[in-house]
Amino acid sequence: MPKLCSDSSGGCAVCPSRLTTEWQALNDEQVVLLDQSKRRRFYSPGETLYMQGDEGDGLFCLQSGLIGLRQIDENGKSVLLRLCQSGSTIGYRAYLTNSDHFNTAEVLSPSVACFIERTTVRKLLENNPLLGEKFLEHALEDLSMVEGEYARSLTMTMRSRFLHVLAVFYEQLGQRDEKGSPTLVLPIKKKELADLIGAKPESVSRLIRRIEDDGLLKVDDRHIHFHDMDAVLRDAGVAI
């Protein structure tokens, strides 16, 4: 079970995640309502914020951690669609369309998320039209992101897409070993990595061998040891 945790950060008024999301549209009184109504919880890897098909009875604001949005098709095939990082508002699509959740929000790293129930969200929207506009902007940004990822799949090589995903994971979960070298323990399987970059698992396996031969990194099961992080970021298209 997710664990309720006390909010020692000063609450929603000073939460850095709020200041980068649609919740920045709230006035002081509404921030107090949000703060009093939210339920802040700690989630461990493998837990879920919600399951595909669950009722969309509220929203989640991700304060810290990493969440994967996973969808299961009619044949039971599970696909990891995208990653949500700190500052993301998750589950808003089901709320705004008054429908069940379209996917499962799976916790990939230790995370803290605040749940805001439907009645609170409705009250805030009714009294603050700007909040609704911000959610519309969010929806359009997500659409642009999907289009961008599609364009990336057409214009970037599989190598670049793969290294870009590793860079995202390293930003959230990376550490330094005893020698000070960057390392990463992947929270997902190789097949799910393939899902994220639109490739087949066997193609990813061959790609990893080529990247290892180039001396950029070494893969040991889910453990990634980076030998040349600058080259990884450069090939991933990430500014150094």
pLDDT tens by residue, 1-57: 445 455 555 688 888 877 778 888 999 999 999 999 999 999 999 999 999 999 989
Q: Are residues 189 and 104 in the same domain?
A: no
Q: Are residues 193 and 83 in the same domain?
A: no
What pLDDT is recorded for position 33?
93
Higher local confidence (pLDDT), 61 or 143: 61
Q: Which domain covers residue 125, as residue numbers?
A: 3-153
**Which are the contacts of 23, defined by CB distance < 8 A and separation ≥ 6?**
12, 31, 34, 61, 89, 131, 134
Which of 133, 153, 173 corresponds to the end of one domain? Answer: 153
Q: Are residues 113 and 168 in the same domain?
A: no
CATH of the domain at 93: 2.60.120.10
- pTM given for the model: 0.77
Residue 225 CA from chain centroid, whole number: 23
Strand-pair partners of 89: 61
* pLDDT > 80? residue 145: no
Q: Are residues 125 and 169 in the same domain?
A: no
Q: Are residues 196 and 89 in the same domain?
A: no
Q: What is the mean pLDDT of the chain?
A: 86
Q: Read off the pLDDT of each residue in 196-218 and give the average, rounded to a whole number.
A: 92
> Two tokens at 92?
């808003």
Which of 94, 118, 153 corresponds to the end of one domain? Answer: 153
Q: Are residues 104 and 133 in the same domain?
A: yes
What pLDDT is recorded for position 168?
86
Q: Where are the alpha helices (DSSP H) in 97-188?
A: 118-127, 129-155, 158-173
Q: Are residues 17 and 105 in the same domain?
A: yes
Q: Where are the alpha helices (DSSP H) in 38-128?
A: 92-96, 118-127
Query: Beta-carbon neighbour count of residue 148 at 10 Å?
Result: 11
**Which are the contacts of 132, defined by CB distance < 8 A and separation ≥ 6?**
125
What pLDDT is recorded for position 1?
44
Q: Are residues 126 and 141 in the same domain?
A: yes
Q: Are residues 37 and 86 in the same domain?
A: yes
> Two tokens at 42?
């700690």
Of all residues in the chain, the percent with pLDDT exceeding 70 is 89
Q: Are residues 31 and 75 in the same domain?
A: yes
Q: Are residues 42 and 144 in the same domain?
A: yes
Measured between alpha carbons, how far is 150 from 183 in angstroms, rounded to an integer?
29
Which of 106, 136, 153 corresponds to the end of one domain? Answer: 153
Sign, CA torsion 143/64/4/15? negative
Domain count, the chain: 2
Q: What share of the chain is helix, strand, coil (3-state, %, to 5)?
A: 45, 25, 30
